[in-house]
Structure 1
Amino acid sequence: MTAGGRRRSVAAGLAGLLGGLLLAGSVALPAAAATSADTLAGGTLVGGRLGAWGGSPGSVAAAEQADSLHVAVEAERDGSVVVTEDITWRFPEGEQRHGIYRNVRVRAGYQDSETRYRYYELSGVEVTSPTGAPTDITVEDNGADRRIRIGSPSETVSGTARYVVRFRLAHLVNDIGDGTAEVYYDVVSTANGVPQHDVRATVAGPVPVTRAACYYGEFGSTTACEASAGDPASYRVPDLEAREGASVVASFPRGAFGDLAPDLRTGSVSSDEGSPLSPEAARTLGLLTLGAGALVPLGAATAMGLLVWRRGRDEQYAGLTPGLTPGVDQRPVVVRGGDAPTVAVRFTPPDGVQPGMVGTVIDEEAGILDVTATIVDLAVRGHLQIGRDDSGHFRREDWVLTRTTPPARSAPLSPYEQLLHESLFAAGDTVALSSLKNRFRPTLDAVQHLMYDEVVERGWFRRSPQAQRSGWMALGTVVAGLGVLTGFFLVGPASGLFADAGLPANPGWVLAGGLVVGGLVTRALGRRMAARTAEGSAVLAQARGFERYLKTAEANQIRWEEAQDVFSRYLPYAIVFGVAERWAEVFEELAATAAAAGHTVLAPAWYSGAWSAAGFRDIASSMDSFSTLAAGTFVSTPGSSGSSGFSMGGGFSGGGGGGTSGGSW
């Protein structure tokens, strides 16, 4: 083929590709936008960690397990580790497989950075089988892992087989900064999908291990397993179920190692330059690129605008006063959208709606404030007591929560309240708020997930607001990310494609910008896709009416003998609405009036603290302080891949560097 022929062939191919992008801008985005938000949010896991090759996707037979897993970790002076796994694998009864695979984590987050990650380079992979099983090796990328596939596509194995897998991970030893260095390693990742029995591990290094620790269970578990320091340190882990992992920690003197700087990467992409085209082909390609760049954001805005109009607006009961719901025999018309209803003052919260649920239905988010207000509400209802720590047993500026026995006729807790209450007192009947730091985040996520489930179960939303938002925002991120990649290639390495197009600007910028704008439009409008049902709108109107009461209530409207009870019952709602201080001022005035008449307003029983003339204001201020400190405590996580496994809150199952999981294929 001549050079001109090659150029025309390349031009035709790229023109077809960009023609597809042009069509995607006008058709694919609207079609994708019409897809169910739940499908986009939930997604489909392709090639899961523990799939069985030849069976149903992602399935693992009940009989499949590791009969034994013995792991030896050898720390080198350069900060790398050599890992040897001696595995006896039991394949599903009556089935033939080709072998096993090991997922080795090679990427991990670095502190709180969103632009860098820590990399453990995998090398020196070797596999043998004392039982004679096939040991062909294929190493593949698998997200944050490298997958070592062991076995032969043309041979099968059944029953049990023994494998010895050896590999090196670079830069895994952590410099803790206090004169020590640590190996913090996940012997079994919490992504593990099959039971693991007879799990043992050893860690050795240039010098003997001075301290050793071991944790096992689901992600975030702090349950300890057997660990003893020495040369080597040894660990024994109880049998693990699927989705349970085990992490080991070994501490050495820092001087035993050389440079322990982590391998930090940003994931930059490089590429070779593209091939030049003829002027005619370059102009055609440039015009197609310009058209695609203009149509993609237009298509995204049109499709998302229509979706928001049709599905992203709240439903309402037509013909009913805002806040009212139809009777049993009524069949009111449900309409979508319309003007914001005018709500009347409501003197009580919506019936049976807890403060956390009120906060979720108002802003469509189960926020951290809704969770901390739930804790205050549980205290008011008699399930716990909140007090400042004045004993000196815990850190300064701390709070102590004490489990109490609720009244006999108290309403049962909802699932998210039950999980929150049980998790707070998992370690005992008295807990310092500071002791939850760096370990409560998984519970917080689970509680918020249950809160979203409850608003759906109560019929206030048809789907989880979080799932709807995250699905559309993920789509927008993908489109914007495609724009960034397009800009890199068409403006950078492949910029020569448009050199002879005779256009005033590089069309690559237009296409890249159009994709980025289209992605941002999808993300922005996707946040508005969560819509309340008519029932949810009625609850919202009731909540807004009660908010108006809290903002306008006067002291002379409340009886002295009811002051303490009314203040306490409505305080968690005032926290959610952000009017706790104003609510307290009403009761300060009421208490002063009562004192002048010779009456005493008692302190709330759920609050353990000093009570004075400014008691209500002090409690409201204290609860604001408690909520702020609790919010920071609940969302905190240990510094990823570098924090000490011995420090307070730093050690738990799944928190180490490296680590493996596996399955059969």
Structure 2
Amino acid sequence: MKRYIFFLIFGCYLLLTRSTYAATLPTAERVEEVTQFASRITINQDTSITIEETIEYFTPEEKHGIYRYIPERYRREGVVYKNTISDVKVTDVTGDPQPFTLSRDSNNLTIKIGDPDITFSGERTYKISYRVANAILRQQGFDELYWDITGEGWTFPVINSAVTIKSPFAPIQEYICFVGPVGAVSSDCSKKGDTKEVSLDTKEVINYGDNFTVAIKLDPVNSLIFPTKFRIFWENFINNSPLLLLLLPGLVMFGYWYKKGRDYRFISPNVFDMDPNAPQGMKPIFEPVNVPMVYEPLKALTPGEAGTLLDERVDNQDVVAEIIDLARKKYLGIERVENKGFLKFGHDYLLTKFKDGPGNLPSQQEYLMKHIFNSKSEIKLSELKGTFYTHMAKVKELLYEGLTERKMFTSKPMNALGIGVALAIFLDVAVFMATISTIIFLQSGWPVLVMIGSFVVSLIFAIKMPQKTAVGTNLSLQAKGLRETIRLGKWREEIKEKHLFIEEVLPFAIAFGVIGKLAKDMQKLNIEPPRYMSGGFGHNTLAWTGFMNDFSKSASSGLSYNPSSNSSGGSGFSGGSSGGGGGGGGGGSW
């Protein structure tokens, strides 16, 4: 009997000592932890909340204190919201003030508690109180406090967590909790309360990445005073103002183009007016464009110049058009020849220099004649591949210079284009660097779409920076008119000397990119191809069309070929989860 009494007493002793074992362990055997995290939240009438956190902290090593960081910025429905934290106080368990410092980064307020000259080990209790503005959410049919109690960022475990919520101005209808990793929907906590006050606690250990979150549904019929719509709008505007920078590249480049890139035009609607002294001004943005039908080649422009004025850049096809124009002027001949020899297949193009060409040539055509043939009288197109690309760049430069010298542009188009593109890229990169952290924080697609759209708009205006004079504008309209005449086939009814028209307009069709349409109309009218393009097809317009397309592509790619360039938040009652509310954050020691 005595033996049974002994075992009974010994068992009771074990049960009693087990509950206090952790507290009586030697300091060296215990780990750093928050043994108890207790929060008391009061919902104020102005929809702010007052929070008092009691943190029982233990450390086996010498520490100065702890730090507690709390988010102030949140993302909800693709928008940044801010709940400003104020009235921060820190005391010990007896109410004596404790030293602390406050710091803010882009998203969080950090409370660093402790004295840099004093360390301690063992247990220490801190009481942190603070006020959070605009903490109550307006949901459809109810108001809500959706709050992360502990936060998921503690660097050591939180053993026990509890919260008490008082709501004197709005009856509590329902309350739930979530415990575990962020996104978890587990509700392993005990809860009790009434319409004025509820308490929830959990025994689950909160490790790094875990959270203890509560959702409190409030009766919509209450005496809470929410901010006005204007104040909400203004605060959202301020909180999301960094995203307004996304519009900056497009707006700045539009303004730059409006001041420096808009073309000049004559006040008179007559697009054939070429008097540079006639009244003129910058073209209004929404002024309608008067494009005339033009039924003859442009006397003031070569085909390459017309193509350049049309789109404000020199393309390879513009240079090819200059070569075709040289053939029209009988400075050179173009002939398709079959490749001969062992393992040689297909065809090539033979360019022949004529010594009796009439008249003086524009600088770009003089340059072409000199550097295509050098001292030779004839050369195959394939022989120029890989060697002519440097001359190709010079021809393009001469086209730009010629138009600028003749006052078709107000400045060198390439300089204006380069400055515009450089400014657009600078703005795009600067705005990207300034907003990328906010975009990542939001985790929403719309800022990315706005950013891409603004970047595209900025580059469009950068490309349009070459500014034409009034004379240049009228000549570009005439070029558009000739292109439309060819594209629509209007010349078939209006032009009597069709063969002569084809011979003169063919190089322009190459520059304008409408050679296919011209060839089809020639085939319908059974018009013989120009005599300066030979290849043994006679009246076969279909064969000649293939010849022209092939020569244009071969010349465009072959003459420009450079061998060195080829190298190998919502509601806790609808999809709620741990870590989905406001507040939270985390902490650590220092």
Q: TM-score, normalised by structure 2?
A: 0.50
2:543 maps to amino acid: D
Query: Are 1:466 and 2:444 counterparts?
Result: no
Q: Does the 8 A contact of 1:475 with 1:522 survive in 2?
A: no
Output aligned runs, 1:80-119, within 5 Å: none
Deviation, 1:632, is 1.6
Corresponding residue for residue 551 of structure 2: 626
Output aligned runs, 1:354-365, within 5 Å: 354-365=302-313
Corresponding residue for residue 570 of structure 1: 505
Deviations 1:419-453 (A, max 9, x none): 22222113622211112222222211111111111
Deviations 1:12-46 (A, max 9, x none): xxxxxxxxxxxxxxxxxxxxxxxxxxxxxxxxxxx
1:543 maps to amino acid: A
Deviations 1:69-97 (A, max 9, x none): xxxxxxxxxxxxxxxxxxxxxxxxxxxxx
Distance 2:105 2:461 in 1: 35
Corresponding residue for residue 370 of structure 1: 318
2:489 maps to amino acid: T
Distance 2:565 2:269 in 1: 53
Secondary structure of the residue aligned to 1:398 is strand
CA gap of 1:310–1:285, structure 2 versus 1, over 3 A, is farther
Query: Are 1:400 and 2:350 counterparts?
Result: yes
Corresponding residue for residue 489 of structure 2: 552
Secondary structure of the residue aligned to 1:324 is coil
Distance 2:440 2:333 in 1: 71
Deviation, 1:316, is 1.3
Which of the numbers 570, 582, 607 marks the counterpart of 2:533? 607
Deviation, 1:506, is 7.0
Secondary structure of the residue aligned to 1:310 is helix
Distance 2:453 2:462 in 1: 14
1:398 maps to amino acid: D
Which of the numbers 463, 466, 476 marks the counterpart of 1:530? 466
Query: Are 1:334 and 2:334 counterparts?
Result: no
CA gap of 1:481–1:586, structure 2 versus 1, over 3 A, is closer
Corresponding residue for residue 636 of structure 1: 561
Query: Are 1:322 and 2:271 counterparts?
Result: yes
Distance 2:456 2:498 in 1: 50
Q: Does the 8 A contact of 1:403 with 1:430 survive in 2?
A: yes
Deviation, 1:518, is 6.1
Secondary structure of the residue aligned to 2:478 is helix
Distance 2:103 2:556 in 1: 61
CA gap of 1:513–1:437, structure 2 versus 1, over 3 A, is same
Secondary structure of the residue aligned to 2:559 is helix
The percentage of counterpart residues that share the same residue type is 22
Secondary structure of the residue aligned to 2:321 is helix
Corresponding residue for residue 514 of structure 2: 579
Q: Does the 8 A contact of 2:333 with 2:353 survive in 1?
A: yes
Output aligned runs, 1:25-174, within 5 Å: none
Q: Does the 8 A contact of 1:381 with 1:406 survive in 2?
A: no
Deviation, 1:535, is 0.7
Corresponding residue for residue 424 of structure 1: 372
Deviation, 1:563, is 4.9
Secondary structure of the residue aligned to 1:376 is helix
Larger gyration radius, structure 1 or structure 2? 2
Deviations 1:249-303 (A, max 9, x none): xxxxxxxxxxxxxxxxxxxxxxxxxxxxx86321489999977742433333332
Output aligned runs, 1:227-242, within 5 Å: none
Deviation, 1:568, is 1.6
Deviations 1:472-497 (A, max 9, x none): 22233234445666789x69xxxxxx
Give the root-mean-square deviation of aligned CA atoms. 4.0
5+ residue gaps, structure 2, are 1-62, 68-100, 110-234, 569-590
Deviations 1:496-534 (A, max 9, x none): xxxxxxx99279x99999988765543232122223221
CA gap of 1:519–1:399, structure 2 versus 1, over 3 A, is same
2:476 maps to amino acid: L
CA gap of 1:542–1:427, structure 2 versus 1, over 3 A, is same
Deviation, 1:588, is 4.1
Deviation, 1:606, is 1.9
1:319 maps to amino acid: S
Q: Does the 8 A contact of 2:254 with 2:458 survive in 1?
A: no
> 445-454 or 457-466: which moved more?
457-466
Query: Are 1:301 and 2:239 counterparts?
Result: no
Distance 1:537 1:390 in 2: 44
Q: TM-score, normalised by structure 1?
A: 0.45
CA gap of 1:609–1:518, structure 2 versus 1, over 3 A, is closer
Distance 1:343 1:565 in 2: 24
* Structure with greater strand share of residues: 2
CA gap of 1:617–1:581, structure 2 versus 1, over 3 A, is farther
Q: Does the 8 A contact of 1:563 with 1:587 survive in 2?
A: no
Deviations 1:292-340 (A, max 9, x none): 742433333332222223333222111241232338xx63233423523
Distance 1:322 1:420 in 2: 31
Corresponding residue for residue 396 of structure 2: 448
Deviation, 1:405, is 2.2
Distance 2:435 2:281 in 1: 46
Distance 1:460 1:343 in 2: 18
